[in-house]
Amino acid sequence: MDIPFLFSTFHLLIASPYDHFDWDASVPYTNYYKVLQLMQFQAEKNNVLAKANKRWVLKCPIHLGFLKYLYKGFPDANVVWTHRDPCEAMSSLASLLRTSQDFHEGSGLIHLDKLGKDVTHYAKFMLQRADEFHSDPKNKSCSHSDIQYKELIADPIGTVRELYSKFGYEFTAEYECILNKYIQEQKEKREGSGHCHKYVSDDYGLNKETILKDLKWYTDKYL
């Protein structure tokens, strides 16, 4: 059975008891792997520029709570855990879920304080699970790297170069040019649109002092 983690309804899941986070996610990750295989096959078949040895780069924080199943489904995966100020991270997630809920249900049904509370509980839970997984000696063979969000923003190419070195990937001059071009294009796009994702923790009743107190173990260990 697949797990119904859909972004459009995710705010409902984190508001409910966390029983579903204890479900066996072996089947969903097996299916996920097969879907990516199909997409890779289609890409190589329909695009002469596609290369069979290209790597997938997938981003989704929810994997933090299911690392056991992720590595089971993707035994050769290299996981990158990006560490960020928890106050900023929670505000960002709350804002993102607010946008999704507004789009699917309308702003009249959104209760910002409740959303902030649910996001806080969810974040604490998932961070704890990820830490427990990586702290367990039996999981030391699972390839992963911890990076700082602020360092990624300050020096994205340097951060990627370090990751490539750790994972044994070749970091070529050609790839560095590709990264530079992408970074510049994204910068120009943001400046041209005048749009920037802004969020304020107070909008969601998020208390910075409380968050930092409850997650002191996390900031002491990872930040």
Q: Is the CB of residue 94 less than 8 Å from the CB of residue 206? A: yes
Note the pLDDT tens digit of each residue in 37-69.
Answer: 998 888 888 876 666 677 889 998 889 989 999
Note the pLDDT tens digit of each residue in 4-43.
Answer: 666 556 667 676 656 777 888 999 899 999 999 998 888 8
**Inter-CA distances, 55 with 5, 76, 166, Å:** 24, 11, 16
* Number of Cα atoms under 13 Å in the Cβ half of residue 109: 11
Note the pLDDT tens digit of each residue in 63-108.
Answer: 998 999 999 999 999 999 999 999 999 999 888 888 888 877 777 7
Alpha-carbon span 69 to 213, nearest angstrom: 30
pLDDT in the model for residue 179: 96
Note the pLDDT tens digit of each residue in 158-167.
Answer: 999 999 999 9
> At the topology level of CATH, where does 7-222 sit?
Rossmann fold (3.40.50)
Q: Is the CB of residue 128 less than 8 Å from the CB of residue 150? A: no
Q: Is the CB of residue 93 less than 8 Å from the CB of residue 123? A: yes
Note the pLDDT tens digit of each residue in 118-141.
Answer: 889 889 989 999 999 999 999 999
Residue 37 dihedral angles phi and psi, to the nearest 5°: -60, -45
Side chain identity, residue 55? R
Question: Structural domain boundaries of the chain?
Answer: 7-222
Model-level pTM? 0.88
What mean pLDDT comes out for the span 108-125?
Answer: 87
Residue 207: how many other CB atoms lie within 10 Å: 14
DSSP state, residue 50:
-
Q: Is the CB of residue 10 less than 8 Å from the CB of residue 114? A: no
Alpha-carbon span 84 to 223, nearest angstrom: 7
pLDDT in the model for residue 152: 97
